[in-house]
Amino acid sequence: MFEFETPLNGDMHRFEVRVVPLGQDEVLSMARDVTELWQTRRDLEIANTRLEFAAHAARLAWWEMDAATGQVYFDARKVIMTGYDPQAYKNATYQDFIALAHPEDRAPMTKALYDLLEGRKPIYAADYRMGTADQNWLWFHDRGELITLPNGQQVVRGYVIDVTEHKQAQQREVELALERERVSLLTNFIQNAAHEFRTPLTIIGTSAFVMARMAEPEERLHKLAIIQAQVQRIVRLTEMLLVMTRLESSSPATRTAVDLGEIFEELCHKMKMQHAHQPQPLLRCEREPNLPLVLGDPDELAEALEQLLDNACRFTPPDGTVTFAAGAATDHVWLTVQDMGPGILPENLPHIFETFWRQDEAHRTPGFGLGLPIAQRIFTSHGGTINVTSQVNAGCTFRVTLPIYQPYAASG
């Protein structure tokens, strides 16, 4: 059999010739026009070449798994993409394949496959990382469906595509978004901090200017007292900023068993002594005896509770009362700070733990908008909670819970 081309009716045609021997010195020759068949075969070869090129360029491959035995048949491209020898995986099973996946991805992959095999999902779809021969990881996306062949055999047939570049691009987008958020937070932080520093520095500058032109000792002493008060304000602001920075950036402090009852008594004594010589609301301290221990940093917990008390005393009028209470429930210790201040508007409640946020936008009330954010960060880092209830013109109640220290549970 041979083929040849020849012109016919102005076009090139291809013919297939078959020669059959009939006897001595006699043959039967048959020719047929195979132009369309040849052209179809040629188009198919071109299409297949293009498909191979597209699959190679897109890093796409097929796979098939016997649902009964777990035997997996891989397109050689899949094995080559990961740097392994295709011959080594000619008789691979699903378990051989799953062993190459990242440990964190194995359970979700297996669940997705069983969801398909057991009829819970119509499609198998999974994103996973696969280890390569050169000790790296590539991201792949698998997609397949359960098919029943004419002989009754069930197979999962699907495709796999390398999505490493897509995953890396997603990660870069996340990192870029985080960086933008970090820059935005830092910018707002600097602007708010600068505003808080500007007020006392302006007062200091003005008082010093006037003081330099005063002759009367009493007037100079008055201005000096103003300057000293603003210096103390700056010192306090700096201390609180340092606390915020430490809470945001440092690793958790070493935790020990903490007696909240002892901290409670020390704070009550300290606050009463600080307010003994100036008009301040009455501080009422009430706690249950023998409070259970909690696990934490005693200095941080004392700082957080003092911030709550300081906040309550600043907003309660001098003839009012601040109530500081503590007790225990089955699995936690609770503490409350109740004031008789103006309360918080409902629309402002979601913002009270934001850094530098203040309900008094004119900043006529003492404070920096840092105390409550500091308290919240400390309590949450100790596994606790802080909530507030408030009524306008009726004050606020802050409630804190901290888990009871369970030494045996913690050690075991």
pLDDT averaged over the chain?
A: 82
Give me the pLDDT at residue 197, please.
67
Domains along the sequence of the chain with CATH: 2-54 (no CATH), 59-162 (3.30.450.20), 180-246 (1.10.287.130), 251-411 (3.30.565.10)
Pick the residue with more confidence: 151 or 371? Answer: 151
Tens digit of pLDDT for each residue in 302-341?
989 988 998 898 889 988 999 999 999 989 999 999 999 8
pTM of the full predicted structure? 0.47
Give 250 or 238, the one with higher predicted confidence.
238
| pLDDT tens, residue by residue, 363-401 | 455 556 777 888 888 898 889 999 999 988 889 999 999
pLDDT at 124 over 60: yes
- Tell me the per-residue pLDDT of 161-210, one tens digit each, with 9 for 90 and over: 889 988 988 888 888 887 777 666 666 666 666 666 666 777 777 777 77
Mean pLDDT of 145-168: 91
For the chain, give the secondary structure using H, E and C: CEEEEEEECCEEEEEEEEEEEEECCEEEEEEEECHHHHHHHHHHHHHHHHHHHHHHHHCEEEEEEECCCCEEEECHHHHHHCCCCHHHHCCCEHHHHHHCECHHHHHHHHHHHHHHHCCCCCCEEEEEEEECCCCCEEEEEEEEEEEECCCCCEEEEEEEEECHHHHHHHHHHHHHHHHHHHHHHHHHHHHHHHHHHHHHHHHHHHHHHHHCCCCCHHHHHHHHHHHHHHHHHHHHHHHHHHHHHHHHHCCCCCCEEECHHHHHHHHHHHHHHHCCCCCCCEEEEEECCCCCCEEECHHHHHHHHHHHHHHHHHHCCCCCEEEEEEEECCCEEEEEEECCCCCCCHHHHHHCCCCCCCCCCCCCCCCCCCHHHHHHHHHHHCCCEEEEEEECCCEEEEEEEEEECCHHHHHC
Average pLDDT over residues 106-122: 93
